[in-house]
Each structure stands twice: as structure tokens, then as C-alpha cells.
């Protein structure tokens, strides 16, 4: 079975704390009729600090979509190589051993994809498959793991590289003042992550079964309005209630593998927000500590979109407390409303 090796994660050097975020909201939106609600929602996220590719003073200035996308390309090319090299080292392979690159991002746009630049500049073979995934939002981290697993099942001796590059701060829109938009301004952060899925060998999570699930008629709950000024993130107030709709998919996947989703040894869950984590915890009937890695990502970095599951996995690797053959689930949630989930066993 394919093995998901230890992820590498890097966050930018510029930071903004919860206190600074609240003070900024008070200053920029002093006359907002629902400011009190917005402040409470941001405080309730539990996000202690977020990392940004540019200082907050620069982030607040919108120079136009073209300039924003140029920053995205510049920062991606500066920051992706480090995490790629670290992820390859953790998997004990080199760049020429990679047969496919899955690049996921929803915060900038390049064509050709950054995969072409990586092949030309980071030592990958010219016949490496390029598989960019651009429109799954936060679910793309889980989707990339699943598709990399499928690739390695089709080609059992192959190796796949996953790269998640999310600069959510570059999607800040100063004219968007809806409650969902203002909450997002205090929730999302920037990060780059990478991980290798090996078709043979490696240490980590052996990927055994995966699934995709779409909640019908929820396309507009999480979406982008694409305008002259770029991507305008839209978040429906019903999104925090989606776990009741998505949890059955986790139960179905686990049951199809002969497991009980409420009795697993590890849970790597997309930390979209505290309500999502708490609702899913209650539905599954597990202890709060079961989601400690996801909560750690949310607290330290905020919602880093598709990179969340990779950072939560990294925390599990770092803790190094699981016994061999421990059973668990990885789940990414995003626009659609979509769930990308897989189950696997820990292989030490």
C-alpha cells in the first residue's frame, strides 16, 4: 500500500496576533453595525497567531489583482523549494525519484502551473507528471493525498509529491464588509507544505482506502466571486453546521474498511474553525484530545486552507506516540460542500 511520509511545513516570517487582529477590526470597521458580532466570532476561533507573506501594513493595501498575483508567484518560487527538499529528505528519496507532482492552491493562479517551474528548477525529471488542483479550496489537501494514493496504486513502484501553497492574505479585499468576510480576515493564514507518497517503502501512514463526498446543493456556501480586484471569498453562515452532513461519509468510509469511525487511534481533520471540530467531535463521540493536532494548527497558524491536513499530520509525526498499526482517518473539507477522506494505518 502507498505510504504518506512526514510532511514539511513552512510559514512566513510576518505575523499578526489575535489582539492585533481585533484591534485592526475595531479601527477599520468602527461604524460597522455588527462589529460586536464580528469581534466575538473572531475571538471564538481560538487562533492565537497567523503568518503572512507580507507585513500587515502592506497586506491591507490592495494594489490590484495583477500585482497581487505577481506577489503570489514571487513568494511561491521563494518558499516552495525549501519544503520540497525537506519533504524529499524525510521520505529518503531524491527529486529524480518523483513520478508525479500534485500541486494544490486556491489563492493565486499561474499557467503553466508552478509544477513546470519546479521541474525546470528543482531537479525533477522532464517526464514527471504534472497534476495541479486549483479549485477545491481547503479540501484540496485531502484530495491531493487521495489522488497521490490512487496514482501509486496504479503504479506501485512510483512516488508522488504533494505541494500545498496557500497565501490567503493575498485574497484580502478591503471593500468586503459582510460578516463572513470579516470573520475570514481574522481566521485565514499563509503557509506552504509538502509531503511524499511512496508506492513502495517509506515510514508514515499507509493509505488503505479513500473516498470523495459532495453535499448536494451547497455550491454557494463556500465560493469565490471572481472580480476585477481578484478573488472575493464568500462564506455562508450555514457552513459551521455542515458536519452533520459530512460525518456520515466518514462513518461510511470507515465501515467499508471494517473499522468504526468513532474508535480510531488518530484523527487528522481539516481545522476550518472551532465549531466544525467540536461538532464533528460530538457526532463521532470522541475525546477532545483526539483532535489535538488539528486544534494545534488552528491555534498556531489559523486556517491555512489546503495545507491544514499536512500540518496536522506533521504534528502527529512530531509527537511520535502512536503504536505500529494504529488506525486513523484523514479528512479535508471545502467548497462544494466537499469531503475528501481516507483511512490508513501508522507504519513505524
User: Residue 151: pLDDT band by 50, 70, 90 thresholds?
Assistant: very high
Sketch the domain layout of the chain as residue ranges. Answer: 3-198, 204-347
Q: Residue 275's pLDDT is what?
A: 87
pLDDT 10s digits, 92-141: 999 999 999 999 999 999 999 999 999 999 999 999 999 999 999 999 99
User: Residue 206: pLDDT band by 50, 70, 90 thresholds?
Assistant: very high
User: Residue 222: pLDDT band by 50, 70, 90 thresholds?
Assistant: confident
- Domain 3-198 belongs to what topology? Peroxisomal Thiolase; Chain A, domain 1 (3.40.47)
pLDDT 10s digits, 168-181: 999 999 999 999 89
- pLDDT above 90 coverage of the chain, percent: 87
Within 13 Å and on the Cβ side, how many CA atoms surround 88? 18
Mean pLDDT of the chain: 95
- Domain 204-347 belongs to what topology? Peroxisomal Thiolase; Chain A, domain 1 (3.40.47)
322: its cell numbers: 502512536
Q: Residue 333's pLDDT is what?
A: 92
Q: Rounded to whole angstroms, how far apart are CA atoms 25 and 344? A: 42
Across residues 187-209, what is the average pLDDT?
97
Antiparallel, parallel or unpaired: β 3-4 and 327-334: unpaired
pLDDT at residue 199 greater than cutoff 90 = yes
- On whether the CB atoms of residues 174 and 238 are closer than 8 A, the answer is no
Among the listed residues 106, 138, 165, 171, the single catalytic one is 138
Q: Rounded to whole angstroms, how far apart are CA atoms 39 and 18? A: 10
| 138 catalytic per annotation | yes
pLDDT at residue 29 greater than cutoff 90 = yes
Are domains 3-198 and 204-347 of this chain identical in fold?
A: yes
Amino acid at each position: 500500500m502507498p505510504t504518506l511520509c512526514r510532511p514539511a511545513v513552512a510559514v512566513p516570517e510576518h505575523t499578526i496576533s489575535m489582539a492585533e487582529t481585533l484591534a485592526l477590526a475595531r479601527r477599520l470597521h468602527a461604524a460597522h453595525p455588527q462589529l460586536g458580532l464580528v469581534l466575538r466570532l473572531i475571538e471564538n476561533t481560538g487562533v492565537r497567531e497567523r503568518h503572512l507573506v507580507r507585513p500587515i501594513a502592506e497586506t491591507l493595501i490592495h494594489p490590484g489583482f495583477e500585482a497581487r498575483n505577481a506577489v503570489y508567484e514571487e513568494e511561491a518560487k521563494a518558499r516552495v523549494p525549501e519544503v520540497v527538499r525537506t519533504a524529499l529528505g524525510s521520505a529518503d528519496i531524491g527529486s529524480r525519484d518523483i513520478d508525479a507532482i500534485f500541486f494544490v492552491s486556491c489563492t493565486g493562479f499561474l499557467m503553466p502551473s508552478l509544477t513546470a517551474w519546479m521541474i525546470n528548477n528543482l531537479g525533477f525529471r522532464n517526464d514527471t507528471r504534472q497534476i495541479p488542483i486549483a479549485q477545491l479550496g481547503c479540501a484540496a489537501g485531502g484530495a491531493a493525498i487521495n489522488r497521490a494514493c490512487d496514482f501509486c496504486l496504479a503504479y506501485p513502484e512510483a512516488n508522488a509529491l504533494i505541494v500545498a501553497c496557500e497565501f490567503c492574505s493575498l485574497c484580502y479585499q478591503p471593500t468586503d464588509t459582510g460578516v463572513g468576510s470579516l470573520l475570514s480576515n481574522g481566521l485565514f493564514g499563509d503557509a506552504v507544505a509538502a509531503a511524499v507518497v511512496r508506492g513502495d517503502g517509506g515510514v508514515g501512514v499507509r493509505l488503505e482506502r479513500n473516498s470523495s463526498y459532495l453535499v448536494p446543493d451547497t455550491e454557494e456556501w463556500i465560493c469565490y466571486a471572481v472580480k476585477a480586484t481578484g478573488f472575493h471569498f464568500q462564506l455562508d453562515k450555514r457552513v459551521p453546521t455542515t458536519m452533520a452532513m459530512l460525518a456520515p461519509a466518514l462513518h461510511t468510509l470507515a465501515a467499508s474498511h471494517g473499522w468504526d469511525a468513532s474508535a480510531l487511534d488518530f484523527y487528522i481533520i481539516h481545522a476550518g474553525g472551532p465549531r466544525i471540530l467540536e461538532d464533528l467531535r460530538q457526532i463521532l463521540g470522541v475525546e477532545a484530545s483526539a483532535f489535538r493536532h488539528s486544534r494545534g494548527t488552528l491555534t498556531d497558524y489559523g486556517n491555512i486552507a489546503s495545507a491544514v491536513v499536512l500540518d496536522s499530520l506533521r504534528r502527529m509525526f512530531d509527537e511520535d506516540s502512536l503504536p505500529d498499526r494504529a488506525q486513523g482517518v484523514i479528512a479535508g473539507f471545502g467548497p462544494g460542500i466537499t469531503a475528501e477522506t481516507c483511512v490508513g494505518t501508522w507504519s513505524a
